[in-house]
Amino acid sequence: MDQSTLSRALAGLPLGEIKFFPRLGSTNDEAGRLAQAGCPDLTLVFADEQTAGRGRLNRPWFTPPGAALAFSLVLLPNPAWIPAEAQEVAWVPPRLTALGALAVCQALDNRYPLNAQIKWPNDVLVSQRKLAGVLVEAAWEGERLDAAILGIGLNIASRSVPAASELFFPATSLEDCLLAPVEEVDRLALLKDVVERILGWRTRLSGLEFMQAWQAKLAFLGEWVWIVPAQAQSGSSQAGLKCRILGLEADGSLRVEDETGTVRRFVSAEVHLRPLLKE
């Protein structure tokens, strides 16, 4: 893949600049630098390999050459998609994280019989294994949003999945989900599908339709899970709270019911979500 191949694949989309890197530390970092330098809205940064990719809570994200989708979009504030309430810092990251995850789910559903779901707040699961992750980073000046970076990583080839000892949650790849050679997956066609859906939903982030679509894709909805403090060791239910997922609040926080019947809400910075182990 190269710059011209990527540009041709995304032709017709109303993007700003399109930047291809055969090897890059982090697409989010590069997109952030471009935003600071005054790049256009919807500038896209794509890396064939990431050497310092990261996910939520600064966890490493593995992106070997030619094995995944790793890209970031620069989203500049615009009244067409940022409503008045978005000037509150708490509004932007949850909605944009859901925007990326929902776009990935719908693009996958459009192309493959996988029933992708969103593990709140930022992962895309297939068969309860992580296939993709979303990382949103926003730059603020006081209460004014300067720019938001929407980063997405999606495992295509089996070799894009790290060793089990390095995982914080069970993971998979599109190749493994489809039980088909990776050569049958058109990476760039899938990328275009995801970006098209991001563009389609971006102007509807504050609407009821978006919230309904987001909640409809929630993994474990109505099921019992562990809600574990963010500081807890990965995969552990120690000090966790057994809860049943009820749905989403308007601000994107998760509404749950604990074993006493008490309804609680959690924001993404506070907790991890872990499914109950099957007996």
Looking at the predicted structure, is the pLDDT value of residue 213 above 60? yes
Q: Quick one: pLDDT at residue 237?
A: 47
Fold identical between 3-216 and 224-275? no
CATH of 3-216, one of 3.40.50.2300, 3.40.50.620, 3.30.420.40, 3.30.930.10: 3.30.930.10
CATH architecture of 224-275: Roll (2.30)
Domain boundaries, the chain: 3-216, 224-275
Highest-confidence segment of 74-83, 106-115, 179-188: 106-115
Sequence-distant (6+) residues with CB within 8 A of 8 are none
Looking at the predicted structure, is the pLDDT value of residue 246 above 80? yes
More confident residue, 179 or 222: 222
Q: Quick one: pLDDT at residue 279?
A: 43
Looking at the predicted structure, is the pLDDT value of residue 57 above 70? no
Mean pLDDT of 246-261: 94
**pTM of model > 0.95:** no
Q: Quick one: pLDDT at residue 120?
A: 95
Looking at the predicted structure, is the pLDDT value of residue 214 above 70? yes
Q: What is the pLDDT of residues 136-166, one digit of tens each?
A: 999 887 778 899 999 999 999 988 887 776 6
Candidate from 5-9, 45-49, 136-140, 269-273 with smallest mean pLDDT = 269-273
When pLDDT is cut at 50, 70 and 90, the band that residue 179 belongs to is: confident
What long-range pairs does 268-272 form, CB within 8 A, spacing at least 24? Answer: 268/56, 268/93, 268/94, 268/97, 268/120, 268/121, 268/122, 269/230, 270/229, 270/230, 271/227, 271/228, 271/229, 271/230, 272/227, 272/228, 272/229, 272/230, 272/232, 272/234
Q: Quick one: pLDDT at residue 8?
A: 97
Q: Quick one: pLDDT at residue 238?
A: 54
When pLDDT is cut at 50, 70 and 90, the band that residue 255 belongs to is: very high
Dist. CA 117–CA 106, nearest whole Å: 9
